[in-house]
Structure 1
Amino acid sequence: MPSVLTTTTAIGTAPGGSSRKEEAMSSCKERSGKNTKSWTPIVHLNVGFVVGVLFVLLTFLVFSQKAAISGLNVATTVAQPSIKGPGETFVTSGVQIQGSGGSAEKGTVVYNTKGGYSETCEVDGDVRINCSALSVFLVPTASSERHEWSILPYSRKTMPGIKNVTVAQLQGPAAAPACTVTYGVPAVIFALGGLTGNFWHDFSDVLVPLFVASRRYGGEVQFLITNMQPWWPEAYRTILRGLSKYDAVDLDGDEHVRCFPHVTVGLHQHNGLSIFPEWVPGGPLSTHDFTRFMREVYALPRDAPASLVREPEKRPRLLLVHRGHSRRIMNEQEVLRAAEAAGFEAVAVDFRRDVTVDEQARTANSFDVLLGVHGAGLTNLVFLPPGGVLVQVVPYGRMDVIATLEFGLPAKEMGLRYIDYEVRAEESTLLEMLGPEHPAIKDPDSVHRSGWDKMTEFYLDKQSVRINITRFAPTLAQAFDCLRQQ
């Protein structure tokens, strides 16, 4: 066969998880038995050696005969150069295949479902895209067995309402559509829609995975978008231009056959805003690299918070994210006064729809502390200077795990200090609304067992909070101390 097919299906475990530990243990098993002077092991060794040699020779003869009949290809890994961004190191590799006729050709399809959220295909070689049909073809130079994959090009592979992209290795060149546009740069195909429009999902579902997929190319990459939402590329134009020097192509209704040397189909979400360096194609990138990229493309001036060591009289700035709907802070003005009393210059900011992302980035970067109830507004942590502080108010209802995964862990990976404040039942508007005997108050675990929709209904959609200032004061003092320690 003139191309190599590689499938990666390590699902559901992050780097360093139990599966990796088990893998390490299985490859380093301790050998049992003692080293004695008995002749028996030597006899067994000699017999085993002879049998082993005969087996290898027999296998070689059979394998060689099959190879002579079918023209089997031999694959060897070769290094490829890549462009690197500031402060980032990449090592990429490709596969060069030696065909039965003696001429070298390239052709790989790597299917990846690592992590369980997403599915992607990396297609390398003579790659042709029938845009209107959402079909990607790998064209061999000789006859080949056909292989086919169906990929959802959104980073959540179960997302409804998005068309799949077909990836196929063709049987031969005769079946390939003729190119109408040919590129010398790689491409990334991805979908919009889904949960985009929510600020957190814009980053977790598209922008962070797109950074992972394309940063290795240093801008020399073409984006191909399906299920286009025209407002979205305009809203994030600064980020897209930082990743690609070229205008994105709207695949919907495009009649061209566009040809590339390499195509990534779909986006790989690692875990929300987090990036696992071991999973990055082309070499390690981190969540910290992503926030550095944010400061670079938006030309944000601050890469460190206020220094209370150098300027002890300076009042660090605290941004309180104002929410106008669910999960509001009902006593917002009291919280601001408490923050002022703790030593901050405190300001409530409403990131409305008419505020551009560029303006949000500059605003957030001018603060040292970001404070708010769990929600999309906390995504502005990607613009904070490293060393800044995120204070997340965790709604009542056993929401600590979700809050930590979506904001707490990424904050630490970004080089921020993270503090959470868990709301008690008496601080939640749910207590007055539902009464103390309601399961949402009395037994939050039962609500979580009822499923995501019930959990969302009570703890995200219906709840607001009235923070106990006396209880909250130590949290503000802790945030101030985090800055004083730097």
Structure 2
Amino acid sequence: MRRGESKAATRGANRSSSSSWKSRYMGYGLVVGFVLILVYLMVKAQFSNSPNAYLGPVTTSKTESVPATTYQGNHASQEDGTRELEERHRKEVASTHTERLRGQRQEKNDESEQQRTEKIPMDEQFGNDRDSDYWQERRQSEKKDTVEFSEFGGGTDDFNNVAHTKPICDTSFGKYDICVLDGDARAQGGAAGAATVTLVSPRAAPREWKIKPYSRKYLDGLKAVTVKSVPNPEFAPQCTTRLNVPAMVIELGGLTGNYWHDFTDVLIPLFIGARRFGGEVQLLVVNLLPFWVDKYRRIFSQISRHEIIDLEKDDHGVVRCYPHVVVGYGSRKEFTIDPSLDDTGGGYTMVNFTEFLRHSYSLPRDRPIKLNSNQGAQPPRPRMMILERTNSRKLMNLPEVVAAAQAVGFEVTIAGRPRSSYDEFAREVNSFDVMVGVHGAGLTNCVFLPTGAVLLQIVPYGRLEDIAHTDFGEPARDMGLRYVEYAIEADESSLMDVFGKDHPMIKDPVAVHLSGWGNVAEWYLGKQDVRVNIQRFRPFLMQVLEHLQ
């Protein structure tokens, strides 16, 4: 009995011990499970509150902006909803998984759609510079804060916005190029196209342009200036002189010397680019023409109160430094200013330009005669200047035209090539109320007429109305002048005597234009004179008179 009881007791003890261990294991399991559940809940809560948690494809709308995530070596556009961006975003979340980027969500609800789409990656804007030493250096020293920056060039030390800056040179327009270097700008002269202008800015990726600083860059024979952007001063020439005013780099080659092109290609574009500085700007000139600058010295003295620099004659060791440099100039339209297209810095118009000229030459009259405002017994006769041409496009019956104008009531003066100084001739033009002439460069003198005066342009035969309107008609109206146009008919042209009425030159001017500019320039402009039909012309003279009422 005792042995059996002992065995039973032993079996009972073993069962008790086994049950005790099982209970312990179950307790441990419950504790571990509870801990795991708590950890899971904490991790889930952490991811739910994290600004970097991946929430699906990056999409934007016009009222919601996307967190601005800084990628290593590239700033992605906030509008990029492509698969590549999603993958980059996913990898960024998985790799960081820390507090480093917390709080950098950049909600910009007031940012326009256009501003966001313009923020393109740096590789697209500047090319791939990742192999350069500076690229590696910049990656190690990126800043997290963002700052405001100007549209062109430097002026800030913010590395983070390199990808978002626009190139300092705009070469998109077919007529001329413009570069704006804002910050540490350094100009170094040299002959034979050796002149350079360098912008030093930590935001500037290394880049280089060849710019012809003239208003018609497509012309042959122009000299180029090298424009560079570099990130560090060590990559730029060291300053030898420093002037704390802006500078403009321009060229005086091209078609300079033709009177109309003097204004259209140089003087008006110079006014557009430099007037905003109020005389506090230095001109750095490529292909400087001293005699030409002297002719227009009154205009240049108002544009700039500083010495004009011949950039090509600057010693190679001279480096001129400025806080702001503009390279190139131009105007969007011919012989005029369109403030909606031309960046004048103050909304200047052609009326402002003619006011500027009157101030430069101390011209007394800003308004023409007003006929109905005089109550005297003998009202004054309005003064008319008729421009006489001596080469092509001559008025073959000029005395008859003069007599017709006098009969209508004008006091007429015939003006040929100026015999006085240019300054005196500008004052003489200002004394007239009306200018009459056949299409040509001489009509450029209308810039000196008082605002409200009348320009009557006689257009030669050959479907030249569009050219005449572009060159003088529209500019005259932009100047505040009254404009009248008289178009020569076939029987008033000397070409009728040369070719006869059945020749294509007379019968089909459109076909002549389609054949190329050569025939148009040679015959319609170069070898044509006109004989005005006085009967047809008289109503136009009456129209001019009415404009002065």
- Select 1:300's aligned residue among 358, 363, 372: 363
Q: Which residue of 2 aligns with 1:4?
A: none
Equivalence for 1:272: 334
Which residue of structure 1 aligns with residue 156 of structure 2? 97
Amino acid across the alignment from 1:228: L
Equivalent residue of 1:117, what SS? coil
Deviation at 1:98, TM superposition (A): 4.3
The 5 A counterparts of 1:8-27 are none
AA of the residue aligned to 2:522: E
Contact 2:153–2:181 under 8 Å retained in 1: no
Q: 2:445 aligns with which of 377, 380, 393?
A: 380
* Preserved contact between residue 153 and residue 199 of structure 2 (Cα < 8 Å): no
Give, as a single letter, the amino acid of the residue that structure 1 aligns with 2:548: L
Select which of 275, 290, 298 maps to 1:215: 275
Higher strand share: 1
SS in 2 for 1:246: coil
Q: Identify which of 168, 179, 183 aligns with 1:110.
A: 168
**Cα distance in 2, alignment partners of residues 378 and 357 from structure 1:** 15
Partner of 2:210: 150
**SS in structure 1 at match of 2:548:** helix
Compute the displacement of 1:75 (Å): 4.6
Q: Counterpart of 1:263 in 2: which secondary structure?
A: strand
Residue 435 of structure 1 deviates from its aligned partner by 2.0
User: Contact 1:188 / 1:221 at 8 angstroms: preserved in 2?
Assistant: yes
Q: Assess if the C-alpha contact under 8 Å between 1:360 and 1:380 holds in 2.
A: no
Aligned counterpart for 1:246 among listed residues 306, 314, 324: 306
Compute the TM-score of the two structures, normalised by the length of structure 1: 0.80
Which of residues 348, 351, 356 in structure 1 aligns to 2:414? 348
In structure 1, the residue matched to 2:509 is 444
SS in structure 2 of the partner of residue 371 of structure 1: strand
User: Counterpart of 2:181?
Assistant: 123
Q: Secondary structure at the match of 1:309?
A: helix
Change (3 A) 1:201 1:61: closer
User: Is residue 459–residue 488 contact of structure 2 (8 Å, CA) maintained in 1?
Assistant: yes
* Mapping of residues 72-91 of structure 1, within 5 Å: 74-77=146-149
Alignment of 1:30-41 (within 5 A): none
The AA in structure 1 aligned to 2:517 is W
Q: Does 1:135 align with 2:180?
A: no
How is 1:474-485 mapped onto 2 (pairs within 5 angstroms)?
474-484=539-549
Q: Distance in 2 between matches of 1:339 and 1:478?
A: 12
Aligned counterparts of 1:150 and 1:261: Cα–Cα separation in 2: 21
Q: Which residue of 2 aligns with 1:332?
A: 398
Task: Measure the CA separation in 2 of the matches of 1:95 and 1:168.
Answer: 12
Q: Per the alignment, in what secondary structure is the counterpart of residue 518 of structure 2?
A: helix
Verify: 1:284 aligned to 2:284, yes or no: no
CA RMSD, Structure 1 to Structure 2 (Å): 2.7
Q: 1:262 to 1:65 in 2, by over 3 A?
A: closer
Write the deviation string for residues 347-384 of structure 1: whole angstroms up to 9, x where unpaired.
110134x5433122111110000100000110011111
Relative to structure 1, the CA distance from residue 365 to residue 432 in structure 2 (aligned partners, 3 Å threshold; closer, same or farther) is same
Native 8 Å contact 1:427 1:468 kept in 2: yes
Q: Are 1:69 and 2:130 counterparts? A: no
Decide whether aligned partners of structure 1 residues 101 and 373 sit closer, same or farther in structure 2, where only a CA change above 3 A counts: closer
User: Distance in 2 between the 1:400 and 1:155 partners?
Assistant: 24
CA distance in 1, matches of 2:285, 2:73: 47
- Equivalent residues of 2:336, 2:475 under 8 A apart: yes
Offset, 1:111: 2.3
How big is the shift at 1:99?
2.2
**Largest Rg, 1 or 2:** 2
Q: Distance in 1 between matches of 2:433 and 2:67?
A: 66
Equivalent position amino acid for 2:267 in 1: L
Deviations 1:58-108 (A, max 9, x none): 863454885793655745147xxxxxxxxxxxxx99975342499xxxx98
SS in 2 for 1:328: coil
Letter in 2 for 1:69: R
Of 395, 399, 403, 2:464 maps to: 399
Whether the aligned pair in 2 keeps the contact of 1:371 and 1:393 (CA below 8 Å) is yes
1:258 aligns with 2:293: no
After TM superposition, give the deviation of residue 346 of structure 1 in Å. 0.7
Structure 2 CA distance for aligned equivalents of residues 407 and 70 of structure 1: 59
Matched pairs, number: 418
What CA distance in whole angstroms lies between the structure 2 residues aligned with 1:317 and 1:375?
Answer: 21
Q: Secondary structure at the match of 2:148?
A: strand
Give identity over the alignment, percent: 44
C-alpha distance in 1 between matches for 2:155 and 2:227:
20
CA distance in 2, matches of 1:470, 1:332: 14
1:116 is displaced (CA, Å) by 3.0
| Aligned AA (2:201) | P
1:223-246 CA-partner distances (Å, limit 9, x unpaired): 111112221100000000011112
Q: What secondary structure is seen at the aligned counterpart in 2 of 1:341?
A: helix
Query: CA 1:365–1:63 in 2, change beyond 3 Å: closer, same or farther?
Result: same
Greater displacement, 431-440 / 153-162 = 431-440
Q: What is the aligned partner in structure 2 of residue 184 from structure 1? A: 244
Q: 1:138-158, CA deviations, whole angstroms, 9 ceiling, x for partnerless residues?
A: 11258x531111111110010
How far the C-alpha of 1:110 sits from its partner, in A, is 3.2
- The structure richer in helix per residue is 2
Residue type at the aligned position of 2:324: H
Distance change >3 Å, CA 245–CA 62, structure 1 → 2: closer
Amino acid at match of 2:156: I
Provide the TM-score with structure 2 as the length reference: 0.71
1:60 to 63, 68, 73: 68
Give the deviation of 1:283 after TM superposition. Answer: 2.9
> Helix, strand or coil: the match of 1:60?
coil
| 1:155/1:267 contact within 8 Å kept | yes
Shift of 1:51: 4.9
Measure, in 2, the Cα distance between the counterparts of 1:72 and 1:181.
33
Q: 1:162, CA displacement in angstroms?
A: 1.2
Are the aligned partners of 2:155 and 2:182 in contact in 1 as well (CA < 8 Å)? no
CA distance in 2, matches of 1:291, 1:410: 11
Contact 1:75 1:98 in 2 (8 A): no
CA distance 1:371–1:258, change in 2 (3 Å): same
Distance 2:507 2:59 in 1: 72
- 1:233-279 Cα offsets, whole Å, 9 max, x none, are 00000000011112211112211211111111111222111111132
Change over 3 Å in CA distance of 1:178–1:476 after alignment to 2: same
Work out whether residues 76 and 95 of structure 1, in 8 Å CA contact, stay in contact via their aligned partners in 2: no
CA-to-aligned-CA distance 1:116-138 (integer Å, 9 cap, x gap): 32111111111111111211111
Structure 1 unaligned runs (5+)? 1-49, 79-91
